[in-house]
Structure formats: C-alpha cells, structure tokens
Amino acid sequence: MTTIQGPALFLAQFLGDQAPFDTLENICSWAKSLGYEGVQIPTWDTKYFDVQKAAESKTYADEIKGIVEGQGLKITELSSHLHGQLVAVHPAYDTLFDGFAPEAYRNNPQARTEWAVQQLKNAAKASQNLGLNAHGTFSGALLWHTVYPWPQRPAGLVDAGFKELGKRWTPILNAFDEAGVDLCYEIHPGEDLHDGVTYEMFLEEVNNHPRACLLYDPSHFVLQCLDYKEYIDIYHERIRMFHVKDAEFNQTGRQGVYGGYQSWVNRAGRFRSLGDGQVDFKSVFSKLSAYDFKGWAVLEWECALKHPEDGAREGAKFIQDHIIRVTEKAFDDFAASGVDDEANKRILGLA
C-alpha cells in the first residue's frame, strides 16, 4: 500500500487580480502558508501558466516548476477541464460555451473544437515536460440534452453519440500515451461521461485505451444519488486523480435531483466545504489507501455558503487529518510463529 500524497489545492477557484491570488508565485506562497504541499494548475489562464509554451519549451516548463518548488510546493497535475468541454459541444450549448475559448474561435464551432483538441495535446506534452503522470479534464457532451428519455430517444442515437465521442478523443488519448501521462476524466453531470455506465460505454469506443482513466470526485455522485464508495471498488484500477470535495443532498416534497432551476444555495443537492456535507471521507480515504492509490488528495473548493479562503484554510487540515499513513507490517506480527512448509503440512494434517 501507498500513503496518499497531500494535501494539495486546485488553484482554479482562487485565481484573481488581487494579491495573494494575482500571480503563480504569490498564490503558491499563500497555499503553502495554509499547509498545502502541492498545487493543481489549470491550463486556461495564461496569466499563470501558458500550456502551449510549456509544451513547446522545456525551459519554460522548468521555470514554472521552479516557481512552484521555490515556494516549497509540488505541481500535482495540470487540469484542462474547460478545453475538454469544448472537444464535444452540442449546438444548443454553443453560445454558453463560447466563453471558454478565445474570441478568435467564437461563433465557429469547428475551429473552436480544433483549438480545444490542440490544447489537450499541448497539455499532454506540457505534463511530460513538467514530469507529471496524470492530467484532469472533462469529456464534453453531445447527448446531455437527451439525458432524460423524453421525448423518446431514437434507436441508435446513444450509440452514434458515443461513437463520435470516441472518435474525437482517441487521437488525444494517443498523444497522452506518447507522453506517458494518464488522461483522467472527471465524471460529472453535464458531461457525456457522468457515471460508471457512461464511462464504460466510452471505454468500448476507445478500445479500453490504457490512458482513459478517472478523476474521482465523490461530490458529483452524492448529487446523483450514486454509491460513491462502491464506485471505488468497481473502478479503482482506473482512478489516477482525486478531488476532495464535499456535497449534500437534501430532497424535499418540492425538489429532488433536478433542482427546480434554482441557484446553488437553493438546490436540494449542493456542494459544500470539506466536513460540512455528507461525504463519508473516512471510508473514501480508507478504500483508496487499501487499493494502493498513488496520487494526490487535492482540494477543489466549491461551496454555496462558505468563503473560499475559509474553505481553503480548513480544507488543508481536513485532508491532512484524513490521509492514512499506511502500515508496513501487520498488527499481529508479534504473534507470528515462524513456521515452515513442513510445519504447515502438519497443521493441515498432510504430513
């Protein structure tokens, strides 16, 4: 077994114009002061990190690594969630998702997709240049508007959607394979890969690609009423990344999973800061440790109520308190009898 690494912090929700959130060096210094040991860096804000430069220049990648390590931290992984979203976008969402791309690619879905695919390939090479072994992203979605089967889905629609999704992602997965990096899909509502079944359907279309791995985040399963602990039992061999994020689901006589178009504060299911929700993190950390998860425990702060700085401060200690330093010996070794093969035969009555 391996002791999970951490605590680490996903920087996406903390980037800003004011110190200490205005530069990579400053935000890393702040994260270290809270007790974090690593940071996960998003690839869509060039003010902090230019994924194309990191792919094309090992010198630049080393400079970024030096900035982070100069503050006493490690880079855990890169994240390209916004780029991954743009690999597959149904036209109904074009206007909403155009904001994820530079202006030059807006109102041009084909060019936007081509740009996003290249950004993912850049992320593969950048991860290699930084010495990383895993990368987080979204799958995008062509079928999400049909998630509830009314009107009735035409025969073959789902198969066609996943076939196209697999076609788009296979070259990207191959690029990650060439870079020696696992591509980890965050299973998430709004994506075509939003539960175990859809992940398995995707694996079929990419021929069980060895780099098509998982970013585990139990909060999204709480909101779907999915067994997030059994999920680890089923998919632990593919789990390479871990977002530590809490959530709660409090259904009422008026509202359930779909949320009634309400804001996050007023939804039955909502994200919470660590310890304020319903995720059984003692079981989660125990299962991941028992299955020899070798990655990082990374806080992704998303809370409808608590201030992000408070969530980050409390989250570092929360993760540290839940990381299990795994044992190197069995608790009953003191009683070991040291018998040999012949003694074992006698015990079994075979001598």
What is the average pLDDT score of the chain? 97
What pLDDT does 347 receive?
A: 87
What pLDDT does 147 receive?
A: 97
pLDDT tier at 300, thresholds 50, 70, 90: very high
What pLDDT does 346 receive?
A: 87
> What average pLDDT score do residues 292-300 get?
98
What pLDDT does 89 receive?
A: 98
Is there a contact between 208 and 154 (Cβ–Cβ < 8 Å)? Answer: no
Range of lowest pLDDT (16-20, 52-56, 88-92, 333-337):
333-337
DSSP of 177-224, one letter per residue?
Answer: HHHT-EEEEE--TTSS--SHHHHHHHHHHTTT-TTEEEEE-THHHHTT
Per-residue pLDDT of 203-247, as tens digits, reads: 999 999 999 999 999 999 999 999 999 999 999 999 999 999 999
> What average pLDDT score do residues 143-164 get?
97
CATH for 320: 3.20.20.150
pLDDT tier at 339, thresholds 50, 70, 90: confident
**How many structural domains compose the chain?**
1
What pLDDT does 164 receive?
A: 98
Q: Which domain holds residue 283?
A: 5-347
Q: How far apart are CA 259 and CA 102, in angstroms?
A: 32
pTM over 0.85: yes
What pLDDT does 328 receive?
A: 86
Instruction: Return the DSSP state at 64.
Output: H
> What average pLDDT score do residues 294-305 get?
97
Helix (H, G, I), strand (E, B) or coil at 143: coil
Per-residue pLDDT of 33-74, as tens digits, reads: 999 999 999 999 999 999 999 999 999 999 999 999 999 999
What pLDDT does 340 receive?
A: 85
Is there a contact between 139 and 185 (Cβ–Cβ < 8 Å)? Answer: yes
